[in-house]
Amino acid sequence: MGTVTISDVRKSYGGLEVLHGIDVAIADGEFVVLVGPSGCGKSTLLRMIAGLEEITSGEIGINGRVVNDLRPKERDIAMVFQSYALYPHMTVAQNMGFSLKLARADKAERARRVAEAARILDLEPLLDRKPAQLSGGQRQRVAMGRSIVRDPAVFLFDEPLSNLDAKLRVAMRSEIKALHQRLGTTTVYVTHDQIEAMTMADRIVVMHDGIVEQVGTPLELYDTPANTFVAEFIGSPAMNLIDGRIEGGRFVTPGGDVVELAGRHVAEGPVRLGVRPEHFAVAETGIAVRVVTVEPTGSETLVTARVGEGELVAAFRERIQARPGETLHLHPDPEQLHLFDATSGERLNP
């Protein structure tokens, strides 16, 4: 069992509040990713769950027990850091068994749990090596092994992949996810990388400036972002946001181009229209844009184009024969439109 309940949690450093009342409930067995730009407070929140930072106000519960005043080792959690923090003079087996030794587990039990973790993580041939004799990915696995042996209620990961090169990062991403599927241990994982969040999470918590912008499954966030921050943060290339007005039930750009809204009823006045790059088609009418670059990737063609004062990106499955400087008309799929309040950025359509 491993539930985590975060209720109205705040954090101040000196007089400055950096987390402004966070509420998140994590179910047993869930893989939850805290994601957001640098400085949004995700590491601080994770460190408060771990017991490495004091909670200024509010409550954190693990398995129904308030842990605010418990020390890290009393919380039934295991944390995997970006730096791995392996002991250089110990072998892989000793590194993995060390916390059990501290907890005074007997020798046979220690050996059994280290062997089991080594089997799960494919570390059996490396048990006698020292960290310096391991690759980055292998060190990462030892760091995870050290957590697994303790069989905690909750795993906490703080940007564990950011020191690895791109290829290894992708491999470790699937390894951690597969490990979670096998062990089913509740996991809270911090990253600033939205792709990591999308590919690994059962649910994502999007944070920004010390608040939670939205909580949902990866596809909920992708399909119905609650505001322009989430709309632009989740998805790559990012969702296009086009300023304009609702007039006569239609969206009209400053240049006078019209987008039909497929029966969506939104109050007249200024709005921002959100369109994902893959939801444009080239048509006879639509939003007039001037092509800036055309980038064929093989599987799709990315077109960057100017519209009024701004730029937008369209991604086509078919091979578009457009040239820089040319004018195209882009027709957004009416079933896939997002409308946001021009001032607050809040979502307007269901």
Ligand X SMILES: Nc1ncnc2c1ncn2[C@@H]1O[C@H](COP(=O)(O)OP(=O)(O)OP(=O)(O)O)[C@@H](O)[C@H]1O
Is 29 or 37 the residue whose CB approaches ligand X more closely?
37
Sign of the alpha-carbon dihedral angle for 171, 177, 181, 185:
positive
Q: What share of the chain is helix, strand, coil (3-state, %, to 5)?
A: 30, 35, 35
HSE-CB at 38 with a 13 A cutoff on CA atoms is 0
- Does 160 sit near ligand X (CB under 6 A)? no
Is 127 or 230 the residue whose CB approaches ligand X more closely?
230
From the list 33-41, 74-82, 91-99, 179-187, the region that binds ligand X by CB under 6 A is: 33-41
Closest contact distance (angstroms) between CB of 210 and ligand X is 7
From the list 34-42, 72-80, 163-171, 230-238, the region that binds ligand X by CB under 6 A is: 34-42
What is the rounded CA–CA span in Å between residue 256 and residue 265? Answer: 20
Distance of CA 251 to the CA centre of its chain: 32
Q: Between residue 167 and residue 206, which ones bind ligand X under the rule CB under 6 A?
A: 192
- Does 40 sit near ligand X (CB under 6 A)? yes
Beta bridge partners of 34: 190, 205
What is the rounded CA–CA span in Å between residue 99 and residue 64? Answer: 25
Is 41 or 225 the residue whose CB approaches ligand X more closely?
41
What is the rounded CA–CA span in Å between residue 36 and residue 18? Answer: 14
Beta bridge partners of 313: 304
Residue nearest to ligand X (CB): 43
- Does 13 sit near ligand X (CB under 6 A)? yes
Closest contact distance (angstroms) between CB of 83 and ligand X is 13
Distance of CA 128 to the CA centre of its chain: 35
| The one-letter amino acid at 195 | I
Closest contact distance (angstroms) between CB of 27 and ligand X is 24
Closest contact distance (angstroms) between CB of 110 and ligand X is 34
From the list 36-44, 128-136, 303-311, 339-347, the region that binds ligand X by CB under 6 A is: 36-44
Number of residues counted as binding ligand X (CB under 6 A):
11
Closest contact distance (angstroms) between CB of 43 and ligand X is 3
Q: Exactly one of 21, 29, 39, 308 binds ligand X (CB under 6 A); which one?
A: 39
- Does 218 sit near ligand X (CB under 6 A)? no
What is the rounded CA–CA span in Å between residue 216 and residue 200? Answer: 13
Nearest to 266 by CA among 332, 339, 176, 320: 339
Is 44 or 228 the residue whose CB approaches ligand X more closely?
44
What is the rounded CA–CA span in Å between residue 338 and residue 274? Answer: 5
- Does 81 sit near ligand X (CB under 6 A)? no
- Does 43 sit near ligand X (CB under 6 A)? yes
The tokens of 165 are what?
A: 């090169």
| The one-letter amino acid at 58 | G
Closest contact distance (angstroms) between CB of 35 and ligand X is 9
Is 12 or 133 the residue whose CB approaches ligand X more closely?
12
What is the rounded CA–CA span in Å between residue 97 and residue 146? Answer: 7
Q: Exactly one of 18, 238, 266, 288 binds ligand X (CB under 6 A); which one?
A: 18
- Does 3 sit near ligand X (CB under 6 A)? no
What is the rounded CA–CA span in Å between residue 344 and residue 201? Answer: 28
- Does 10 sit near ligand X (CB under 6 A)? no
The residues that touch ligand X, with contacts defined as CB under 6 A, are: 13, 18, 36, 38-44, 192
